[in-house]
Every structure is written in C-alpha cells, then in structure tokens.
Amino acid sequence: MHIHETIAGLRAALKEAGPTKRVALVPTMGNLHEGHVALMTQARGLADTVVATIFVNRLQFRPGEDFDKYPRTFQSDGDKLAAAGVDHLFAPDEAEMYPQPQGYHVEPPPEHANIIEGEFRPGHFRGVATVVMKLFQIVQPDTALFGKKDFQQLLVIRNMARDFNLPIEIVAGETVRAADGLALSSRNGYLSEAERLEAPRLFRTLTKVVSNIRNGNRDFATLERQALAEMAEHGWSPDYIAVRNKIDLQLPTAHESRLVVLAAARLGSTRLIDNLEV
Ligand code: PAF
C-alpha cells in the first residue's frame, strides 16, 4: 500500500496507475474498526484501485465536540488498510487540506442539513459535504463508499453528487455490529466498561420500535416517546429517536412503507448514533 501525504503525490500515483482503471474511494477519519474494513473489502470488489483516506475534518466538528480527542491511531489503521488490500492511503495534514481557511463551502439544503442529526449538530453536514467534495475533486473516483450507520450523511452525499452531476456512484455499506448489537463506531472507545455493557440498549430500543411498526403500529409519535422514555430511565440522555421516510428523511405520510428509525443518545459523555431500516 502506498501512503501519500500530499495531493500532488496521490494524483501522480493515480495517473501512473492509468486512466482506464476504475477507482473506488473510501473516506474515513481513521481509528478504523471492522465496519471500515468491510467497506474496504466491498470497495475491493468494485474497482481496480482502492483509495482510502484518513483525515479528521475540523470543519464538521463544532466547538466543544470531540475534534481534539478524536482518536488518532495511524499506525494500526495503516496495518488494517494494507491487510484489507487498499492500494493507496491518502492521509493529508490540515495544512494540505486547508492551506488557507476554507472560503467556499457546500451548503446542503436545510431540509436535509438542519433536521435530526443536523438539529443537534448545526453546521455538521456543511462540513462533511465540503470535505467530501474536496476529496472527490482530489481523488476523482468512479465510486465512493459510505456506511449506512451515518444514514443522514449518506443521504446528504448522495444528493450532493446528484445535484452537482458528479460522475461518481455512491455506494452504501451495511452497518457492522458487535455480537450484542452495538453498531461499531470509533466513538465506542470512549465508553467505560460499565457503559459498554449498557450501550447495546440503543440497538435493542431501535429493534423494538421497528418490530412494533412491522406489527402494524403506525402511531410513530407514541413509539418515539416511549423509546425516549425507556432510554432516559436507564440513564441515557437521548437527543432524538425519529421515525422517518428513508428516501428523504422527512416525516412519513400515513401509508409510507419505506421507513428508517434513527437515534442519537448520550451515555455518560459519549454520544452514540444508530439507525435501523424497517
Ligand atoms: O464518516 C466519516 O468518517 C466522515 O464524516 C467523512 C465522510 C470521512 C468526512 O469527514
């Protein structure tokens, strides 16, 4: 695996690989787990050349969020990527990605950016869309892969690619879970031993909401309220549990069958997100 810290170096290497090669991009912020590895393996099956990126993007964190403490584990990440058959790792520093403060931004529309996760993390999706657009311009991939665990992020990026006519196929990767159901996340490492035991409740609560809907309960507001109360009873501070249309994340109409249930909740000082399609 070749490691590049500069845009020029990565571009030269991709040019050398040849213009007919199909390139897949998997952007990450590092601290890689089995969910990331599964995306790399999926990418390997879709392209001749797989490019992974590691860049903790300051633009998508708000003051007071975990930008500074976000785990930087470059050595072990590199080993995992090489083992997964990644060809190129692009790992720029901030000066390479933002040599001057970013003046132009990609502004996702409020109906995608200011709801659900965006309501609690204003500006987050603008930061994500802006860095992903930069990575798309730098790598110019044929396809790019994003995990479904960040369901709203996937929707924003799909719509951005469509609205800007980007010739990039956006591919979703399934959420990878621990045996007890907890969705794998770089932030799981923040959990204490006791919190790690409690953490799968998020998945169990989503599972319960989904099974109620599948059994014909369409009173989404009550289901959301009950789920929020159950989390709170067990010491969580939930931000939201939301039943949405999975195509556009808007409130579902009475007979909508394409549904997703999304959740974010804080356990101690760790904020976890997850979702389940109905
Ligand atoms: O999902 C992530 O890890 C990040 O939001 C991404 C897509 C790499 C952009 O910084």
**131 CB less than 6 Å from ligand 1?**
yes
The protein residue whose alpha carbon is closest to atom 3 in ligand 1 is 28
Closest C-alpha residue for ligand 1 atom 1: 28
Q: What is the CA radius of gyration of the chain?
A: 19
Task: Give residue-wise pLDDT tens across range 219-254.
Answer: 999 999 999 999 999 999 999 999 999 999 999 998
Domain harbouring 262, CATH code: 3.30.1300.10
Going by the DSSP 8-state scheme, the letter that residue 188 receives in this structure is G
The alpha carbon of 233 and the centre of ligand 1 are apart by a number of angstroms equal to 32
26 touches ligand 1 (CB under 6 Å): no
**Residue 161 belongs to some domain of the structure:** yes
Q: What is the pLDDT of residues 2-49, one digit of tens each?
A: 999 999 999 999 999 877 789 999 999 999 999 999 999 999 999 999
| Domain of residue 169, CATH code | 3.40.50.620
Residue 96 included in any domain: yes
On whether the CB atoms of residues 154 and 146 are closer than 8 A, the answer is yes
The answer to whether residue 42 is domain-embedded is: yes
Q: How far is the CA of 27 from the centre of ligand 1 (A)?
A: 6
Residue 143 bridge partners (DSSP): 24, 169
Q: Are residues 135 and 99 in the same domain?
A: yes
Q: Which backbone phi and psi does 250 adopt, to 5 degrees? A: -85, 170
Cβ(54) – ligand 1 distance below 6 Å: no
* Residues 111 and 159 reside in one and the same domain: yes
Q: Is 228 in contact with 238 (CB distance < 8 Å)? A: yes
Is residue 45 located within the same domain as residue 88?
Answer: yes
Q: Are 35 and 149 in contact (CB under 8 A)?
A: yes
Q: Do 145 and 198 reside in the same domain of the chain?
A: no
Cα torsion through 48, 51, 52, 54, rounded to 10: 180
Query: What domain range includes position 197?
Result: 186-277
| Catalytic machinery residues | 36
Residue type at position 40 = M
pTM for this model (two decimals)? 0.97
**Number of folded domains in the chain?**
2
